[in-house]
Structure 1
Amino acid sequence: MTTFTTPADILPTYEREAADFQAVRNKSLFEKSNLDRMLGITPRNVAQRRLLDLGCGPGAPIATYLTDRGLAVTGVDGAATMVELFAATLPNARAIHADMRTLDLGESFDAILAWNSFFHLDQDAQRAMFPIFAAHAAPNAALMFTSGTSDGEVWGHAVKEQVYHSSLAPDEYRALLIANGFKVISFRAEDPNCQGHSIWLARFTGG
């Protein structure tokens, strides 16, 4: 009988797999066109735009690219070894060991990114993230995250270990975004130009 991992296994798994994940992570920056779309709607509320990278991992290639584009990146990850690798990759960036589900930094950002991290949360935890996104969003902030394409749970792999994923239905994501002060800019389901990732882009319009 197959034994499935749970959301509670995610952080311990990435803790164990951090170094191997960094070694095998695709660094071709296939995400670039979508990151550029996010940057295109990221406001210039301060001299240097600030980005919150939730589930930042080891920092390459995404946070490295965004830093090179001039953003001040704050990386947050619940796996301590990932935070250590992020800090080593980007010594001038800020790295924080924290669980995104309880994050309360008391500050706002011009862009919030949760790339291939948010979808490891269970469905109720995903629903609870939208007020956290809003609490950390500066006026007109950009929000980008990846999700599934339909309501349900699936299992994949992080290097050698099984990992949990879940998704809400697209209509529920839209409703949650709107209810928490975000305007949906686009949803690209299984984008063929981004290795099949499903990507949400929204702008914070709430107070």
Structure 2
Amino acid sequence: MDEADRIIGLYERHALAFDRQRGRRFFEKPWLDRFTGPLSPGASILDIGCGSGEPMAAALVASGFAVTGVDSSKTLIGLCKVRMPSAEWIEADMRRLALGRRFQGLMAWHSFFHLAADDQRAMFPVFAAHAAPGARLVFTSGPKAGIAMGEFEGEPLYHDSLAPEEYRRLLAESGFAVVSFAPEDPACGGATIWLAQAA
């Protein structure tokens, strides 16, 4: 088992620590507003790798969107169910996601980049399969191709990224047009952010 395959177990083992440490200072709000701006009230949004649901999914629920959150951690999904019982929460591996329905918005914020490169490539058909016509897609990646290792609770924390040119190609092949690309946005904690829209 390599470090990418250990991510699911790591987040489940340290779910409560992750929840405690996940920043609630909502500096992501401008990007969330850009993502949801064109969506109709009550639009359906799929949060892929939702974690404990705070602050991102919680803000969407508070704004009246119909949120479906997916995460591989049973403990984190349990926290979401307690905190936001009006939303739908599903314990599942994003790599095998097949819900059989489409959403007006798809979000993979600080989750998708934990996948190995080939698994990331395979996610673009998954995005397309869950995207309604005109759907918005937002996700974070690294600023350039390559693996970056971090650490969480004393364990290695895997991140991977494709090159920006490859993300653009994969988006186009999956029927998405890039709306905005912000590498290492200083106003959003240095996150590299992609916002796209389905045809």
Deviation, 1:159, is 4.3
Q: Which residue number corresponds to residue 80 of structure 1?
A: 74
User: Residues 21-76 of structure 1, C-alpha deviation per residue, up to 9 Å, x if partnerless?
Assistant: 1111100111000000001133x3xx620100000001111111011111011010
**Count of aligned positions:** 199
Aligned counterparts of 2:143 and 2:188: Cα–Cα separation in 1: 15
Q: TM-score, normalised by structure 1?
A: 0.93
Aligned counterparts of 1:158 and 1:90: Cα–Cα separation in 2: 26
| Identical amino acids, percent of aligned pairs | 49
Q: Which of these residues, 26, 32, 36, is aligned with residue 33 of structure 2?
A: 36
Q: Which residue number corresponds to residue 204 of structure 1?
A: 198
Aligned counterparts of 1:17 and 1:89: Cα–Cα separation in 2: 19
User: Is 1:20 paired with 2:17?
Assistant: yes
- CA RMSD across the alignment: 1.3
Q: Which residue number corresponds to residue 139 of structure 1?
A: 133
Superposition map of 1:99-110 within 5 A = 99-110=93-104
| Consecutive unaligned residues in structure 2, runs of 5 or more | none
User: Is 1:169 paired with 2:169?
Assistant: no
User: Secondary structure of 1:129's partner?
Assistant: helix
Residue 35 of structure 1 aligns to which amino acid in structure 2?
L
| Consecutive unaligned residues in structure 1, runs of 5 or more | none
User: Secondary structure of 1:41's partner?
Assistant: coil
Q: Which of these residues, 76, 86, 89, is aligned with residue 92 of structure 1?
A: 86
